[in-house]
Amino acid sequence: MREAAKSGVSVVISALIVTGVLLTIISTLWAAQYNLHQAEVDSLKREAERAMEAAFQIFWVNTTHVRLFNNHSSVAVTIRYWVSSDSGGLNVIGPLNPGDWSVQPKTYKDVLAADSPRSPGRKYTVVSERGSVFFVGDVPSEPWSLFRLRDEMRLVRPGFSSGVKGPLTQLVLATGPDFTGGPVTITCVSVTPLPASCSGWSVSFNPASPVTVPPDSAVVVNILASVPAATPTGTYFLRLRVDTGGFAREFLLRVVVGDFSFSFTPSSISLEQGCATTIGVVVSPTNYQSDVGFRVSTVSPPDTRINYAAAPNPVSVRDAVTTADFYVHVNAKPTGSGTRTVVVVGDDGLGPVKTSSFVVTVLSELCITVPSGGQGFVVNVLTTAVTGCRGDPSSVPVEITSLGGWSGTVTLTFSESPNINVIRSETFSPNPVTVTAGGTHTSTFSFEIQNGGTVTVIGQSGPLISGKTFTVARIC
């Protein structure tokens, strides 16, 4: 009996031991299987995260700095290591400071390269915290790599309309590593501050959204808008959203709404027939920096004897009151007096044109001229006809000859007909001209051809005046 009992106990103990061993083995297998599964899950997760980092780019912006460009809509990227390689081997720098080397979605930043300045003999790569490896190369050749706005800032005036002045800006939609083509949805998110809005500014797109971008290609989208005439001057922000379905980006265009006015001083002049004078064009800006060009719109009642020129034209206005010269010349023939109102247009291409006017009273008297055999000077142009294309540079030699032993200083100006845009960028060299008794002196009149017409070179010294006309023909 005792032997049988001992035998039974031994069997039970052996069974318990075997069971424990089996449970240990099974537990170990289960743990191993779970760890293997978890490792696979972690690996897949890392691969997915690295795939999302494919929208990231890094490239040199100069010899010392690189740009971190994150084109993903929701995933931030942190660079941990910088690797430089050449024939001598590898140089690993890191871990890098996350504060400097992290970039949020839909943003970019420029940072000092970990190994600078850039060496032509080296190759550079970086490694993200998720293990993605990126080559540090040259700036992507635009527009084939990135979506981008043509402008970061645009100046307009109240009343600006794309239907008259063209697009507010343009958006380039191009294929690249993260976008191989397809439909792109463009929306106006907001225009701030109030009361501006997307609808209030009539923001639209041409071609209309969604825009289909062909593979290996690019599409330029015109951003159209109409800024109400009552819009206060100031700085506004137009926010656009571009969505491919795979990633989205937002763009911010700074729109500066400025304005200007101009007037003439004096606003009324009297001229003898054959005389010339200069009045001032005063341009007063408000939150405004641009160039304003001037042209005569109407003369009422019409008078073809009156010629005009503005210098400089256009005039550069930079947030300060700016003055230009406006020359007025009345031909001596045909004779006759009267009062004329001259309306001048100021145009900068950024909004509706501005107008201002001045009054010219043509007197019945003639200018004091040099009588035959008397003392004075005569102006002559050695080239009587100029031909060329718009924008072509040209020049005309101008001779000033002393008459009757006269000597003095002659100031040269000019006038244009039928308008004030026959030529531009006009200079006399030298000016004024010192004339010696019995001498002949030359000044070079340089300019750019704009349109066809006539130009009169005018020399004046006190009451003495002399002029000579040449023609300008624009053939292209």
Inter-residue contact 329 to 415 (CB < 8 Å)? yes
pTM of the entire predicted model: 0.54
Helix, strand, or coil (residue 411): strand
- DSSP lists the bridge partners of residue 299 as 342
Domains of the chain, earliest start first: 56-138 (2.60.40), 147-257 (2.60.40.10), 261-366 (2.60.40.10), 376-474 (2.60.40.2310)
Alpha-carbon distance 102 to 104, whole Å?
A: 7
Give Cα 392 to chain centroid, integer Å.
25
The enclosing H or E element of 32 equals helix 2-52
Among all chains, which residue has been given the structure tokens 């590593």? 177
Give the closest residue to 113 by CA, choosing from 72, 61, 70, 165. Answer: 61
Here the tokens at position 386 are: 């100029």
Tell me, what amino acid is at 21?
Answer: V
**In a structure prediction context, what are the per-residue pLDDT tens digits for the chain, which is 476 residues long?**
445 544 554 554 555 555 555 556 556 555 555 554 555 555 545 555 655 676 688 988 888 999 998 877 678 899 999 988 876 677 888 889 988 999 988 788 899 999 888 877 778 889 998 888 888 987 765 433 468 888 888 999 999 999 998 999 999 888 776 678 899 999 999 999 988 999 999 999 999 999 999 987 889 999 999 999 999 999 999 999 999 887 788 899 999 999 999 999 999 999 988 888 899 999 999 999 999 999 999 999 999 888 888 888 899 998 899 999 998 988 877 777 899 999 999 999 899 999 999 999 998 776 755 555 567 888 899 998 999 999 999 999 999 988 888 899 999 988 887 767 889 889 999 999 999 998 999 999 999 999 888 888 888 888 788 888 889 999 88
Give the closest residue to 463 by CA, choosing from 375, 401, 364, 381. Answer: 375
